[in-house]
Amino acid sequence: MKTFNELEEFILNGDKVYIPHFSIECVIFGYENRQLKVLLTKLLGIGWGIPSGYVKQEEMLTAAATRILNERTSIDNIFLKQFHVFGDSFYRSMQYQIDPTNYLPANSWLRQRTFSIGFYALIDCTKAKIKQDFFVEDYKWVDINEIPNDLIMDHNEIVTTALETLRNQIFHEPIGYELLPEKFTLPEIQTLYETILNKKFDRRNFPNKLLSQEIIVKLDEKRNIGQHRAPFLYTFHKDNYQNALNERVSITI
């Protein structure tokens, strides 16, 4: 929505374009400087939350999530997965929907009870060009350990559940592959697994299984990160990694 008129049209007549009663909420993860981050956007007059949108009347569900993510980040070919429907909290109850607000007409379709389908996306946040517009007045990438606890509606619950989902799926979805750059250092991959699994690994043992099963391979290439510091770079062996995921092999020790 670029203009006030577009926003007004969405509020008054959006249900001619979109299906009411459920929205899509997107938890967009990126990994940078050994920090796992989530994209937060600030909605005009409402507050900080995660990007969201509605499914168009004739649109398939995954196509809708892809469109919403693309509209917000300008990234094509995003890795995304639905992970949970949020329909059990106060914010998804009848009581919340009839709570009067200052700017929605009493009969607005946006006051109808709305469940949310959560999708998580894994992107290279250095490549994302986040779009702001009339309604989204600001954005920031926030370390998952520093998410403010006062996001709008149930967005804190949605982010927490998305993170639990990464934890549960890290050994059968290509989460490491999608979040790391093509070439990475051992500390980078170790910190990513430590962050998602929320535990520490011994630096000497961590890469053993990844290397012995050739899930990652060492490149003949280093990265200069300072005087006398030039760690070797590694990359995923895509077939071996995919086989490990198919077999749900725990790829850490």
Interface contacts to its own copies, rule CB under 8 A: 19-22, 55, 57-58, 60-63, 82, 84-88, 92-94, 113, 115, 117, 168-169, 171-172, 248, 250
Q: Please, which residue, 86 or 206, has the CB nearer to its own copies?
A: 86
Handedness of CA 55, 61, 65, 66 (dihedral sign): negative
User: CA-to-CA distance for 62 and 11, rounded, in angstroms?
Assistant: 24
Shortest distance (Å) from residue 129 CB to its own copies = 27
Q: Please, which residue, 108 or 235, has the CB nearer to its own copies?
A: 108
User: CA-to-CA distance for 164 and 158, rounded, in angstroms?
Assistant: 10
Q: What is the 3-state secondary structure (H, E, C) of 187-232?
A: HHHHHHHHHHHCCCCCCCCCCHHHHHCCCEEEEEEECCCECCECCE
Shortest distance (Å) from residue 118 CB to its own copies = 10
Shortest distance (Å) from residue 190 CB to its own copies = 18
Shortest distance (Å) from residue 29 CB to its own copies = 19
> Residue 198, Cβ neighbours under 10 Å: how many?
9
For residue 149, give the amino acid letter. N
Q: Please, which residue, 141 or 193, has the CB nearer to its own copies?
A: 193
Shortest distance (Å) from residue 21 CB to its own copies = 5
User: Could you tell me if 158 and 49 are in contact, meaning their C-beta atoms sit under 8 angstroms apart?
Assistant: no
CA angle 81, 114, 109 (to 5 degrees): 125
Q: Please, which residue, 24 or 36, has the CB nearer to its own copies?
A: 24
Helix axes 155-169, 186-197, angle to 10 degrees: 120
Q: Please, which residue, 78 or 130, has the CB nearer to its own copies?
A: 78
